């Protein structure tokens, strides 16, 4: 496997499912520490309406503050529509993420649009972002199944991927929104995307709803995925799916990689420290393992 990139989505996907709003200064502390740990990308927030999702109401402010600082990691943000892109461009987001759900039911609940309409709209928005000189990642949400519809036809997923590739959008995330993915399916889908375009940069966003999260992550990496999206402590879950559950924990994945000599450049202790603070803030145990058990010591890179 090539060295895998880690995209930390805790500040967005992790916090959006929480009922309480985390103070901006505390978010900044978590983001800065995760960005300094050596992970490659940190998703700061999503550009949505603050009255609809108050947990993300300070996204613009976070980017304005962070843009004045130097960070080891790329800072990404999620947009849902044209207004979101306008805001992302205004505050200087480095990597703009957006997506379409392969589930028509999930798409309508999440965006108010059918999958077909959302695909056309997101491609247009993505191309606008790309033409503005920004890095763009597009995703297929509910790629491995839907809490409302159940199994999603593989051809439906690949049709969205094909539309992306034909538009020149080659950074593609396969998102397990409902947590239905299993390793064999993830391996097959990543391989099929790379068969369509060997130069595509595939990211896997896996949820651990039914306990197969880490196994599916490793299947994605073995199949040629370039990046994995994870969340500190395994926090998170899409609030618009039927059974929301957390992501694969960032520190758990990094720990596993480091045990085989990979990504020794990432400060695992720093990630564990952030997760412990997140758990302390919310006053409950998070799904992740390593922050509770402590890591098996691995020789650090010189």
Task: Report, as an integer, the average pLDDT of 153-170.
Answer: 97
- What DSSP string runs through 41-73? EEEEEEE--TTT-GGGTTHHHHHHHHTTS--SS
pLDDT for position 65 = 98
CATH number of domain containing 11: 3.20.20.70
β-strand partners of 175: 205
Q: Is the residue at 18 inside a domain? A: yes
301 belongs to a structural domain: no
Lowest-confidence region among 9-18, 77-86, 214-223, 236-245: 236-245
In a domain, 298, yes or no: no
Three-state SS letters, 209-276? CCCCHHHHHHHHHHHCCCEEEEEHHHCCCCCCCCCCCCECEHHHHHHHHHCCCCCCCCCHHHHHHHHH
Q: Is residue 57 part of a domain?
A: yes
Tally the domains of the chain: 1
Lowest-pLDDT choice from 57-61, 160-164, 199-203, 298-302: 298-302
Give the model's pLDDT for residue 220.
98
Is residue 237 included in any domain, yes or no?
Answer: yes
- Rounded to the nearest 5°, which phi and psi values hold at 182? -125, 155
Q: Which residues are the active-site residues? A: 238
Does residue 34 belong to any structural domain of this protein? Answer: yes
- Owning domain of residue 232: 5-293
- Of the ranges 105-109, 142-146, 193-197, the best mean pLDDT one: 193-197
DSSP 187: H
Is residue 95 within a helix (H) or strand (E), and if so which, with residue range?
strand 95-101
pLDDT in tens, 20-55: 999 999 999 999 999 999 999 999 999 999 998 999
CA–CA separation, 173 and 185 (whole Å): 15
8 Å CB contact between 297 and 290:
no
* Whole-number Å distance between alpha carbons of 204 and 58: 27
Long-range pairs for 218-223: beta carbons < 8 A, 24 or more residues apart = 218/183, 218/256, 219/183, 219/184, 219/186, 219/187, 219/190, 220/174, 220/186, 220/187, 220/190, 221/1, 221/4, 222/1, 222/187, 223/186, 223/187, 223/188, 223/190, 223/191, 223/194
Asked whether the predicted pLDDT for residue 172 surpasses 60, the reply is: yes
SS3 288: coil
Please report which confidence band the pLDDT of residue 242 belongs to, taking 50, 70 and 90 as the band edges: very low
Name the strand (E) or helix (H) holding 77: strand 74-79
CA dist., res. 289 & res. 294, Å (int) = 8
Query: What's residue 237's pLDDT?
Result: 63
29 in a domain, yes or no? yes
Question: pLDDT tens digits, residue range 114-148?
Answer: 888 889 999 999 999 999 999 999 999 999 998 88
**What's the mean pLDDT in 181-187?**
97
299 in any annotated domain: no
Instruction: Name the pTM for this structure.
Output: 0.94
Q: What is the pLDDT of residue 48?
A: 94
């Amino acid at each position: 496997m090539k060295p895998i990139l880690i995209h930390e989505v805790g500040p967005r996907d992790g916090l959006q499912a929480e009922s309480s709003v985390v103070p901006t200064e505390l978010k900044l502390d978590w983001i800065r520490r995760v960005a300094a740990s050596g992970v490659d990308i940190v998703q700061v927030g999503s550009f949505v309406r603050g009255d609809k999702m108050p947990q993300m109401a300070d996204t613009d402010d976070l980017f304005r503050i962070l843009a004045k600082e130097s960070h080891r990691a790329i800072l990404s943000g999620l947009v849902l529509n044209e207004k979101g892109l306008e805001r992302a461009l205004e505050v200087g987001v480095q990597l703009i993420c957006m997506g379409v759900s392969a589930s028509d039911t999930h798409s309508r609940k999440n965006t108010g649009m059918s999958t077909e309409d959302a695909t056309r709209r997101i491609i247009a928005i993505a191309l606008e972002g790309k033409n503005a000189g920004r890095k763009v990642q597009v995703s297929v949400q509910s790629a491995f199944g839907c809490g409302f519809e159940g199994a999603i036809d593989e051809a439906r997923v690949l049709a969205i991927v094909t539309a992306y590739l034909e538009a020149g959008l080659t950074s593609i995330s396969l998102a397990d929104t409902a947590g239905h993915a299993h390793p064999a399916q993830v391996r097959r889908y990543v391989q099929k995307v790379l068969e369509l375009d060997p130069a595509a940069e595939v990211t896997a966003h896996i949820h651990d709803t039914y306990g197969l999260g880490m196994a599916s992550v490793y299947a994605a990496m073995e199949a040629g995925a370039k990046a994995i999206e994870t969340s500190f402590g395994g926090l998170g879950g899409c609030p618009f799916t039927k059974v929301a559950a957390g992501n694969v924990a960032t520190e758990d994945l990094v720990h596993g990689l480091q045990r085989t000599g990979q990504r020794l450049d990432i400060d695992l202790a720093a990630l564990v420290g952030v997760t412990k603070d997140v758990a302390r803030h919310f006053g409950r145990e998070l799904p992740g393992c390593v922050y509770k058990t402590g890591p098996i010591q691995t020789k650090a890179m010189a």
